[in-house]
Amino acid sequence: MTISFKLRMLCLTGTLAVIGLFLSKQSVIPGAYALETSNFKTVRTTSAVVHTVNDWVEFSGKLEATDEVTVRSKVTGSIVDVKFRDGQLVRKGDILFIIDPAPYKTELARARAAYAQAKAKQDLALLDLSRGKKLIGTHAISQRDYDVLNNAARESKAAREIAEAEVESARLSESYTRITAPVTGRISRAELTVGNLVAAGIDSPVLASIVALDPLYVAFNADERTYLNYIDKLSNKDKPEVLVGLADEKDYPHKAILHSVDNHLSTETGTIRMRALLDNPTSRLLPGLQARVRLQASKSYTAVMIDQTLIRTDQDRRYVLVVGNNDKVEYRPLELGNRQGELIVVKKGLNKGDRVISDGAQLVSPGETVVVSKDESPSSKSREGNKSS
């Protein structure tokens, strides 16, 4: 073997050694890192955010009609027509029932004839009085005869006025045969139908009932603190706003205006009755429906907030697990405020940007190092409850 051949082999061996060393660095170092991080558990986090919010107080309430009336007949007679369907929306002045008008039309005609007769007698008496004035001036008649003529004129005037009142009374009675809706609202079923005889007066049977639907009252019992907070605002031109939600609604989509407060606080419950006015233009809402009522209890302020689903319970304590410095898990007890949609106010325990574990919290313990795979922030739509403000 020649010296030159040995040198070539030596160079080739050195080259292969360098290449092998390079390849070993490329594969061994990442592998070691992967082996090290594979020992850490992976979690997902959601960052605490800061929003401008209001505090709210919530009460249970009920929708009530602003007006509810019973329909009765003012005249006696037989029902000859019913002009509505059961449960129909009616407007003030709509004809609901018709009582047989024939007897009342006859009475009205008689009263008008009597009025015409009285009017003719008055005209004659006034004519006689006018003649008497001329005759007494020439002493053609005595003072007594003139007084008789004057008295006859006054009596005829009174008789005409009585006849005129009788006409008006008969006209009213005839108009009462058309029973109309006293308010706008939804009517009940007809309690009496065509052919039934009804009597007049307060003891007459109820023909139907009507409840006004637009607007409605939202009635609720508020505590003393809420009363003191809102009583001064009632005298303002701009009435306080009340948010309302129904049983099938998640949030508080309806806006009402605080309308009135009762005149005393219940000593038994420590609450006072309040009512708000709620517009109901479609008449979809009905009296008697249960409602949830929310009133603003504070001025706007900034607060740290997180999703309510991130909060964990330790006996009577609320807490979250946070990924802190050096990716170590920290235990954070919380002091919570009011809910704001899907978020909740954190009074103490978190700062803006703190990474709260949202997925994998049940697999890790405080002090443990973790790997964060993804960090998310609560979406703005989660604050729908606070948007109402």
> Distance between CA atoms of 195 and 197, rounded to whole angstroms?
7
* 386 against 308, higher pLDDT: 308
Q: Find how far residue 383's CA is from the centre of its chain.
A: 20
The CATH class of 73-100+177-211 is: mainly beta
Domain range summary for the chain, segments of one domain joined by +: 41-54+300-387, 58-66+212-296, 73-100+177-211, 102-173
Contacts of 380 (CB under 8 A, 6+ apart): none
Which pLDDT belongs to residue 8? 54
Which pLDDT belongs to residue 363? 86
The CA radius of gyration of the chain, in Å to the nearest whole number, is 45
Tokens of 45: 């986090």
- Over range 53-73, report the average pLDDT: 90
pLDDT tens string 216-268: 999 999 888 888 877 776 666 667 888 999 988 888 889 998 888 888 888 88
Which pLDDT belongs to residue 237? 67
Report whether pLDDT(32) > 60.
no
Out of 17-21, 62-66, 69-73, 104-108, pick the least confident.
17-21
Tokens of 10: 């030596």
- Over range 292-298, report the average pLDDT: 83
How many CA atoms does the CB half-sphere of 270 hold within 13 Å? 4
Please answer whether residues 48 and 308 qualify as being in contact, where contact means their C-beta atoms are separated by less than 8 angstroms: no
Report whether pLDDT(76) > 80.
yes
Written as one letter, the residue type at 331 is: Y
Burial label for 146, CB within 10 Å (0-12, 13-18, 19+), is middle
Please answer whether residues 79 and 195 qualify as being in contact, where contact means their C-beta atoms are separated by less than 8 angstroms: yes
* Residue listed under structure tokens 């899907």: 342
Tokens of 23: 């390849």
Tokens of 137: 């001036």
Report whether pLDDT(108) > 50.
yes
* 327 against 379, higher pLDDT: 327
Contacts of 104 (CB under 8 A, 6+ apart): 75, 77, 170, 173, 174, 176, 177
- Over range 70-84, report the average pLDDT: 94
Report whether pLDDT(82) > 70.
yes
- Over range 17-25, report the average pLDDT: 47
Report whether pLDDT(385) > 60.
no
Contacts of 220 (CB under 8 A, 6+ apart): 59, 60, 61, 62, 273, 274, 275, 276, 291, 293
Inter-axis angle of helices 143-175 and 102-137, nearest 10: 160
Q: How many CB atoms lie within 10 A of CB 210?
A: 25
Which pLDDT belongs to residue 229? 79
Fold of 41-54+300-387: 2.40.420
pLDDT tens string 305-359: 999 889 998 888 999 999 988 889 999 999 998 887 788 999 999 999 899 998 8
Which pLDDT belongs to residue 332? 92
Which pLDDT belongs to residue 7? 45
% pLDDT > 90, the chain: 48
Which pLDDT belongs to residue 31? 47
Superfamily of domain 102-173: Helix hairpin bin (1.10.287.470)
> Distance between CA atoms of 194 and 98, rounded to whole angstroms?
9
Which pLDDT belongs to residue 139? 85
Give CATH for domain 58-66+212-296. Answer: 2.40.30.170
Which pLDDT belongs to residue 41? 87
Cα–Cα separations (whole angstroms), residue 263 to 149, 175, 266, 272: 64, 41, 10, 8
Tokens of 314: 């330790």
- Over range 70-75, report the average pLDDT: 94
> Distance between CA atoms of 34 and 17, rounded to whole angstroms?
26
Cα–Cα separations (whole angstroms), residue 374 to 73, 308, 309, 332, 377: 75, 19, 17, 20, 10
Q: Find how far residue 343's CA is from the centre of its chain.
A: 23
* 104 against 140, higher pLDDT: 104
Report which DSSP code applies to 239. Answer: P
How many CA atoms does the CB half-sphere of 291 hold within 13 Å? 30
What DSSP string runs through 234-291?
A: GGSSSPPEEEEEETT-SS--EEEEEEEE-SS--TTTSEEEEEEEE--TT--S-TT-EE
- φ/ψ of 281, rounded to 5, equals -65, -30
Contacts of 333 (CB under 8 A, 6+ apart): 317, 318, 319, 349
Out of 54-68, 193-207, 367-381, pick the least confident.
367-381
Which pLDDT belongs to residue 38? 58
- Over range 8-12, report the average pLDDT: 51
* Residue listed under structure tokens 């003649």: 131
* Residue listed under structure tokens 């006015």: 277
Q: Mean pLDDT across the chain, nearest whole number?
A: 84
Cα–Cα separations (whole angstroms), residue 33 to 22, 37, 40, 69, 378: 17, 6, 12, 82, 33
pLDDT tens string 154-202: 999 999 999 999 999 999 999 999 999 999 999 999 999 999 999 987 7
Which pLDDT belongs to residue 384? 46
- DSSP H helices, 207-286, are 224-230
> Distance between CA atoms of 81 and 40, rounded to whole angstroms?
85
* Assessment of whether the complete model's pTM goes beyond 0.85: no
Which pLDDT belongs to residue 37? 52
Which pLDDT belongs to residue 177? 95
